């Protein structure tokens, strides 16, 4: 039995968790900074870093207490190394280094993007990853920073089939909410506002789907673009704005529902196309936007019956440390530890292998 302490600080959530043997989450504690950043309409990296400094120690202590273990019983410390906001990442990484050094524990630097994929297999899913019938696996990671399709084979070989060439889907929802004056964070507010609205009332564009009268370039078949949807919303608001420059209340619900529908349609359409073309046996949907009920319902309705659908549990969609600790266990069992001089990284590097598969 191995216990991994996970630490996450890539953006505006300070999180710690204790995970047993890669799957059993004994504790998962998250300190949110939403109220701090809401007044700015988005995450301020320096402010996030300062808040992590305040929250890390009590959050880690809370995770250990909730799990009923002490640092002495922890086998290794896994921490998000990147991608993310550098000021925020540095705080978590430095804290983890000090904790590892002070307690004589090995350190494991974890890729936040891969951890999101792994989060779909926490708790009840032990054995699914080892089953050959699970592969090829197609993962859609969709959040405020990422919108990517990753194909994973049984031996752990991985390749990115497509990604966003401009805004991520979560960013488009956040900025759409800001443009409409709905507040922050945009994703949950947009979903709530759209409830009961007509998603087909207004036709927002579906970029890179070949529906604009032009043939789609082969290199963009699995790529995403959401800046055009956001621009269309801007012009929609200008066209329908009242004397105060804002969208009339009677148009808001249908507008948000139609805007959300455009985002969901593109995400599901491209994912299902890639799954068909590459013969995927499993589709994983993960990342913060995977909390969206319309997106989840659409995948449940449209995923072919012969394809297994794994929607990450909502508590593991948003940034958390359970996914970090769970993924860290796979490094621990191979004794693939990180040196104490590892540095954080902001951008997603090329991924050719996932650590939870292969030797």
Is the sign of the CA dihedral 266, 291, 129, 299 positive or negative? Answer: negative
**Can you read off the two tokens belonging to residue 336?**
């693939």
Contact between 85 and 13 (Cβ < 8 Å): no
Q: What's the confidence (pLDDT) of residue 210?
A: 82
307 is in an annotated binding site: no
Which CATH code fits 131-312?
A: 3.30.420.40
236 is in an annotated binding site: no
292 is in an annotated binding site: yes
- Surface-to-core class of residue 70, CB atoms within 10 Å of its CB (0-12 exposed, 13-18 middle, 19+ buried): exposed
Q: How many CB atoms lie within 10 A of CB 192?
A: 11
142 is in an annotated binding site: yes
167 is in an annotated binding site: no
- How do strand 158-163 and strand 282-286 relate by DSSP bridges? unpaired
**H helices, E strands: number in the chain:** 10, 10
144 is in an annotated binding site: yes
102 is in an annotated binding site: no
CB burial readout 302-313, b (16+ within 10 A) else e: ebeeeebbbbbb
- Surface-to-core class of residue 98, CB atoms within 10 Å of its CB (0-12 exposed, 13-18 middle, 19+ buried): exposed
**Cα separations (Å) of 319 from 148, 228, 286, 342?**
17, 27, 11, 21
112 is in an annotated binding site: yes
277 is in an annotated binding site: no
Which CATH code fits 3-120+316-333?
A: 3.30.420.40
Of 109, 92, 17, 110, the C-alpha closest to 49 is 92
Same CATH fold assignment for domains 3-120+316-333 and 131-312: yes
DSSP for 236-283, written as a single string: HHHHH--TTSS--HHHHHHHHHHHHHHHHHHHHHHHHHHHHHTT-SEE
Reported as half-sphere exposure (CB side, CA atoms, 13 A), residue 240 has a value of: 15
Query: What contacts 256, CB < 8 A, 6 or more positions away?
Result: 176, 180, 182, 190, 193, 194, 197
358 is in an annotated binding site: no
Q: What's the confidence (pLDDT) of residue 213?
A: 66
Q: Can you give the residue ranges of every domain in the chain?
A: 3-120+316-333, 131-312
- How do strand 107-111 and strand 76-82 relate by DSSP bridges? parallel
197 is in an annotated binding site: no
**Can you read off the two tokens belonging to residue 42?**
């988005």
pLDDT tens digits, the chain, 359 residues: what are they? 899 999 999 988 999 999 999 999 999 999 987 777 777 777 888 888 898 999 999 999 999 999 999 999 999 999 999 999 999 999 999 999 999 999 999 999 999 999 999 999 998 766 899 999 999 999 999 998 899 999 999 999 999 999 999 999 999 999 999 999 998 888 999 999 999 999 999 999 999 998 766 778 899 999 999 999 999 999 999 999 888 878 988 999 999 999 999 999 999 999 999 999 999 999 999 999 999 999 999 999 999 999 999 999 999 999 999 999 999 999 999 999 999 999 999 999 999 999 999 76
- Surface-to-core class of residue 188, CB atoms within 10 Å of its CB (0-12 exposed, 13-18 middle, 19+ buried): middle
**Can you read off the two tokens belonging to residue 357?**
């598969």
């Amino acid at each position: 039995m191995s216990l991994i302490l996970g630490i996450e600080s890539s953006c505006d959530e300070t999180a710690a968790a204790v995970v047993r043997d890669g799957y059993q989450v004994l504790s998962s504690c998250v300190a949110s900074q939403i109220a701090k950043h809401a007044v700015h309409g988005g995450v301020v990296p320096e402010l996030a870093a300062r808040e992590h400094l305040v929250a890390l120690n009590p959050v880690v202590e809370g995770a250990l207490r909730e799990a009923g273990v002490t640092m002495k019983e922890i086998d290794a410390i896994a921490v998000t190394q990147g991608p993310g906001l550098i000021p925020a990442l540095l705080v978590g990484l430095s804290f983890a280094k000090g904790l590892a050094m002070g307690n004589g524990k090995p350190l494991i630097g974890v890729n936040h993007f891969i951890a999101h994929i792994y989060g779909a297999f926490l708790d009840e899913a032990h054995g699914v990853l080892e089953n050959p019938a699970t592969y090829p696996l197609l993962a859609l990671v969709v959040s405020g920073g990422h919108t990517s399709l990753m194909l994973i084979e049984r031996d752990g070989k991985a390749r990115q089939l497509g990604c966003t060439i401009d805004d991520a889907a979560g960013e488009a929802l956040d900025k759409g909410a800001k443009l409409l004056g709905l507040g922050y964070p945009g994703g949950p507010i947009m979903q709530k506002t759209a409830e009961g609205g007509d998603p087909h009332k207004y036709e927002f564009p579906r970029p890179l789907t070949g529906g604009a009268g032009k043939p789609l370039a082969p290199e963009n078949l699995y790529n995403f673009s959401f800046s055009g949807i956001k621009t269309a919303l801007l012009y929609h608001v200008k066209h329908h704005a009242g004397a105060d420059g804002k969208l009339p209340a009677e148009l808001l619900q249908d507008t948000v529902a139609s805007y959300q529908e455009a985002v969901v349609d593109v995400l599901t359409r491209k994912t299902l196309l890639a799954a068909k073309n590459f013969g995927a046996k499993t589709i994983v949907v993960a990342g913060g936007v995977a909390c969206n009920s319309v997106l989840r319902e659409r995948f449940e309705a449209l995923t072919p019956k012969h394809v297994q659908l794994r929607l990450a549990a909502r508590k593991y969609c948003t940034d958390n440390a359970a996914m970090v600790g769970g993924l860290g266990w796979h490094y621990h069992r191979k004794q693939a530890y990180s040196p104490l001089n590892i540095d954080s990284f902001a951008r997603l590097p090329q991924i050719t292998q996932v650590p939870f598969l292969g030797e």
